[in-house]
Structure 1
């Protein structure tokens, strides 16, 4: 479809505040494109529909969550967190809903639905109580670094209108291991006293496999203390654990968490939306967002944010030059080699004809010659000639 980028932009704008009837029309357009064999354009509209539904799907059905699942006193800005007796260092940070980012993190449809179901349960805790069942009170969020696990936990607290008692467990471990067990007990006693969400970040720092022969007996007792306090906490509030290293967790720890939510690295369509979200106040062309998403295959949301920052800096520094997006990507790949998937990096630094052919044939990118010329800072005829050149063989 010759003018599909314009149609795509119109659909994106319309879906931002779409009624069910309008969404249905976009779905009809997608289905018609599929029937005509224009699967790339249809897939693009599917991505827009999924993204537009995300804000609605994740939010709970009630604006204010039921308080049936939490008890205790109300936390105020004047409430001081518990401290280590030896060092007087705080054992936790208290974060109030008003200071948490309002926008939900971007995940695929499966994760989005799962998060929505957890919040929905907690929002309807009173109704569950009448049927003799309870909402899930513990959730373990795990996955690679930079995928938005902590941001998701904080956002869930905001949706539930609960302050967060945030604990970095690696900082909780004292050189005096007996003190660590006492700190854990004090921390849970504090969380159980107040209406809050207890967030245990870097969970693997303390919840280690107890059968590891390299661990001393005292660490095992610390893990047991943690498990016992998790069991007691179920009757008092909601607890989220976060880890980048799920394989390090004791099997007994896994059993304590009713919800075990894996956050994967983002797929192509989600990478586009993550790049778009970080671009403000810039509004780059669709071809730029698609190329950034293509280039960041295997990257986390945090790594995409880093690339977008490089893009924004380049837009300021090179605003009067003809430097294309490919030059910016090459700069990023050189300065952040370990953060770029090897095959994408090899293509980026290959001869132009090889790179342009890969971009032209990739079904996700769906690039025209004009698109390639725009991101490469070259005219369409030059791109066409370079695509037509045979790749040089290396003997």
Structure 2
């Protein structure tokens, strides 16, 4: 190969900090050289690859906490080589260790919080469960609208177990080549089955669609069949959590593979109020102000509430003394048009008496004249007069 000395030097320098994709491409080059009869050049590149692998093995390794010792398998390390698509070299998964998954549990209703805590309690009391002939839940399907905290819940559960998350990259697993998607799914499951980890399948509907969908080709059936077989094989090996925004798209056979099925709904008023409090920090909003923000965001997901509160904080920091809380909320509504219901937009765009009447009559708020006066920047007598006029 002409100028091979330069190519060899470039590969040697690059492999000082190897990645899966880089190793894949260097191996491709070695294979191509060998096919063209340049055997010595190919051997030189393979020697570089071996040296690279040896240096990885000698790198100090960070161990995973031992809380997940009840799950079988090898310890997953930061230096572990991750599987890749054979055609493109694209990595099929990502790994997040416990120190990277220490997210707080999303603000849920008390019932949903207890359900999540029960799963953790099962894993912590495996021996007690074994005494009555049952085992901890090893598979969980989390469904619900976007932005409700489903993926955060999956990461929180993995963190409570003390295990790293193996997050399947659905976009990388799906391929236009016949049979490749099913092969990639098997690669991901084989990797997860080998190590102590929690396998998370986000956007699960992309690989678990109903097989009778007339708009899908026969490849979908092969993908779903491969998925079902791998889910069955993993039952006794490790924890699997699947997440989807579209439960109606899932094949009926997929549901039966998950022992726990958790519905994460849009947050009710009490949960929205706690979300506002969480994301308002370090700003010190009054209780009535927090309640109003929660009330106007009825029908929003937790993520949408967070986005609205972020806009509201910006408004207060940039111009803290120029407007009442209600005037600030009115301004922020204009920046969050898609997050607020048409009814709320109408109320806040009509006149002050409409807003005051809504504040007084909203059953979630329970505000008195003094609190409404503070929120609107009006006097108590003005608020009373507008309420009497409206009634």
Whether the 8 Å CA contact 1:287–1:367 is kept in 2: the answer is yes
Q: What is the CA deviation profile of residues 232-273 of structure 1, one whole-angstrom value per residue up to 9, with x for unaligned ones? A: 011110000000000000000111111000001111111111
Q: What is the CA deviation profile of residues 174-222 of structure 1, one whole-angstrom value per residue up to 9, with x for unaligned ones? A: 1224111111010000000000000000001111010111111111110
Query: Which residue does 1:250 correspond to in 2?
Result: 251
Q: Are residues 1:204 and 2:201 paired?
A: no
CA 1:327 to 1:177, structure 2 compared with 1: closer, same or farther past 3 Å? farther
Query: Which residue does 1:334 correspond to in 2?
Result: 334
TM superposition shift of 1:132: 3.0
Query: Which residue does 1:355 correspond to in 2?
Result: 355
* 1:183-222 pair list within 5 angstroms: 183-222=184-223
Whether the 8 Å CA contact 1:66–1:123 is kept in 2: the answer is no
TM superposition shift of 1:112: 1.0
SS of equivalent to 2:89: coil
In the superposition, the TM-score normalised over structure 1's length comes to 0.79
Query: Which residue does 2:182 correspond to in 1?
Result: 181
Instruction: Supply the distance in 2 between the matched residues of 1:300 and 1:285 (Cα, whole angstroms).
Output: 22
Whether the 8 Å CA contact 1:65–1:124 is kept in 2: the answer is no
CA 1:168 to 1:326, structure 2 compared with 1: closer, same or farther past 3 Å? farther
Query: Which residue does 2:69 correspond to in 1?
Result: 67
TM superposition shift of 1:66: 6.0
Whether the 8 Å CA contact 2:208–2:254 is kept in 1: the answer is yes
Instruction: Supply the distance in 2 between the matched residues of 1:289 and 1:172 (Cα, whole angstroms).
Output: 43
Structure 1: runs of 5+ lacking an equivalent: 1-62
RMSD across aligned positions (CA): 1.7
Instruction: Supply the distance in 1 between the matched residues of 2:181 and 2:349 (Cα, whole angstroms).
Output: 51
Instruction: Supply the distance in 1 between the matched residues of 2:205 and 2:78 (Cα, whole angstroms).
Output: 30
TM superposition shift of 1:274: 0.7
Whether the 8 Å CA contact 2:308–2:336 is kept in 1: the answer is no
Q: Are residues 1:345 and 2:345 paired?
A: yes
Aligned residues: 327
Instruction: Supply the distance in 1 between the matched residues of 2:295 and 2:214 (Cα, whole angstroms).
Output: 44
Instruction: Supply the distance in 2 between the matched residues of 1:65 and 1:264 (Cα, whole angstroms).
Output: 30
Query: Which residue does 1:160 correspond to in 2?
Result: 161
Query: Which residue does 1:77 correspond to in 2?
Result: 78
Query: Which residue does 1:10 correspond to in 2?
Result: none
SS of equivalent to 2:146: coil
SS of equivalent to 1:240: strand
TM superposition shift of 1:353: 1.1
Instruction: Supply the distance in 2 between the matched residues of 1:378 and 1:83 (Cα, whole angstroms).
Output: 64
Query: Which residue does 1:371 correspond to in 2?
Result: 371
Q: What is the CA deviation profile of residues 112-141 of structure 1, one whole-angstrom value per residue up to 9, with x for unaligned ones? A: 111111111111123323443211110000
Whether the 8 Å CA contact 2:103–2:155 is kept in 1: the answer is no
Whether the 8 Å CA contact 2:67–2:163 is kept in 1: the answer is no
Instruction: Supply the distance in 1 between the matched residues of 2:66 and 2:191 (Cα, whole angstroms).
Output: 24
Pick the structure with greater CA Rg. Answer: 2
Whether the 8 Å CA contact 2:209–2:249 is kept in 1: the answer is yes
Instruction: Supply the distance in 2 between the matched residues of 1:230 and 1:378 (Cα, whole angstroms).
Output: 62
Query: Which residue does 2:101 correspond to in 1?
Result: 100
Instruction: Supply the distance in 1 between the matched residues of 2:134 and 2:329 (Cα, whole angstroms).
Output: 53
Whether the 8 Å CA contact 1:139–1:258 is kept in 2: the answer is yes
CA 1:171 to 1:351, structure 2 compared with 1: closer, same or farther past 3 Å? farther
CA 1:390 to 1:284, structure 2 compared with 1: closer, same or farther past 3 Å? closer
SS of equivalent to 2:99: helix
TM superposition shift of 1:315: 1.4
TM superposition shift of 1:364: 1.2
Q: Are residues 1:115 and 2:116 paired?
A: yes
TM superposition shift of 1:64: 7.4
Whether the 8 Å CA contact 1:65–1:122 is kept in 2: the answer is no
TM superposition shift of 1:351: 1.8
TM superposition shift of 1:375: 2.1
Instruction: Supply the distance in 2 between the matched residues of 1:347 and 1:101 (Cα, whole angstroms).
Output: 41
Query: Which residue does 1:383 correspond to in 2?
Result: 383
Query: Which residue does 1:234 correspond to in 2?
Result: 235
Instruction: Supply the distance in 2 between the matched residues of 1:102 and 1:213 (Cα, whole angstroms).
Output: 40
Instruction: Supply the distance in 2 between the matched residues of 1:327 and 1:72 (Cα, whole angstroms).
Output: 58
In the superposition, the TM-score normalised over structure 2's length comes to 0.80
Instruction: Supply the distance in 2 between the matched residues of 1:175 and 1:330 (Cα, whole angstroms).
Output: 49
Whether the 8 Å CA contact 1:353–1:386 is kept in 2: the answer is yes
Whether the 8 Å CA contact 1:274–1:301 is kept in 2: the answer is yes
